[in-house]
A = this chain, B = another copy of it.
Amino acid sequence: MASVQGCLLDLSGVLHVGSAPLPGAREAVSRLRRLPIGLRFLTNTSRTPHALLLAQMNQMGLDITAGELLTAPLATRLVLEHRGLRPYLLIHPHLRPDFAGLPRHRPNAVVVGDAGPYFSYQRLNCALRLLMEGAPLLAIAQNRYFMAADGLNLDAGAFVAGLEYAAGLRAEVIGKPAAAMFHAACAQLGLSPDQVVMVGDDVEADVLGALDAGLQAALVRTGKFRETDADQLGNGAPVYADVMDFVDHLEASL
């Protein structure tokens, strides 16, 4: 790893699976904290608000502070605030706390998240009309689908694609693998992308996304990792057994 001064860690599949921390995850975070590098935790979480996610991490003994946790909804909120946009929110009600306090009257931007059954025809039409009046389309993420108790469910990406087609425009994607979220984290650390390494278990969202955004990256063989994922990387990024193996190599390189 060349001159790493910052480290971004994915959560699910790297530090925990469900409500259980992965073996060595807590110690890996502790050791990272003792290194002279910046640290952030990045997740595309789709329905869990920032404060609840933080509580869940701390319950697992993963000691993360509010300022260190950058979620795709929070990164979207930062974009809205930075540009003075008033959002029309197509999101799941669970996620509303992350957007509380933003101006909502006369909306001039459309934000699409994993709204699930709250994607009604009427609300999609409201979004369409705003887009046709020139509002930008911000996609918290662009995932295609996820598995739920009743089978596959459409994720935000399907509705982003539908609105893009209808309104004849392209969404600005915020969440991984888009560059926006990686660059927001680098900016928080005061580092340039090439000084930062992203560690994840999702070869596309975490690793290829980070590489495309100009960061260094590493894949871990935990969480959703499959052997074929490593083939996609070639020499672009190293693959480690788990987050502790990554920390071992990082310490040795500093």
List residues of A whose CB falls within 8 A of some B CB: 116-122, 124-125, 128-129, 132, 144-145, 150-155, 157-168
CB distance from A139 to the nearest CB of B (A): 11
Q: Write the chain B residue with the least CB distance to A117.
A: B121
Given contacts A144-B166, A158-B162, 5 further A-B contacts (CB under 8 A): A125-B152, A128-B145, A129-B151, A161-B165, A161-B166
The answer to whether A157 and B152 have CB atoms under 8 Å apart is no
Q: Which residues of B contact A117 (CB under 8 A)?
A: 120-122
Q: Which residues of B contact A116 (CB under 8 A)?
A: 121
The answer to whether A163 and B168 have CB atoms under 8 Å apart is no
CA A119 to CA B163, docked complex, whole Å: 14
CA A153 to CA B158, docked complex, whole Å: 17
Cβ contact of A162, chosen from B125, B150, B159, cutoff 8 A: B159
The answer to whether A158 and B163 have CB atoms under 8 Å apart is yes
CA A117 to CA B248, docked complex, whole Å: 55
Q: Which residues of B contact A155 (CB under 8 A)?
A: 166
The 8 closest A-B pairs by CB, nearest first: A162-B162, A161-B165, A158-B162, A158-B166, A117-B121, A144-B166, A161-B161, A161-B162
CA A158 to CA B162, docked complex, whole Å: 4
The answer to whether B165 and A144 have CB atoms under 8 Å apart is yes
The answer to whether A152 and B165 have CB atoms under 8 Å apart is no
- List 13 interface pairs A-B (beta carbons < 8 Å), by A numbering: A117-B120, A120-B120, A121-B154, A125-B154, A128-B152, A128-B158, A145-B166, A154-B166, A157-B166, A158-B166, A159-B162, A160-B165, A162-B162
Q: Which residues of B contact A119 (CB under 8 A)?
A: 121
CA A118 to CA B165, docked complex, whole Å: 19
Q: Which residues of B contact A132 (CB under 8 A)?
A: 145, 152
The answer to whether B158 and A144 have CB atoms under 8 Å apart is no
CA A136 to CA B161, docked complex, whole Å: 19
CA A128 to CA B159, docked complex, whole Å: 13
CA A129 to CA B150, docked complex, whole Å: 10
CB distance from A140 to the nearest CB of B (A): 16
Task: Indicate the member of A119, A128, A151, A165 with the most B CB atoms within 10 Å.
Answer: A165
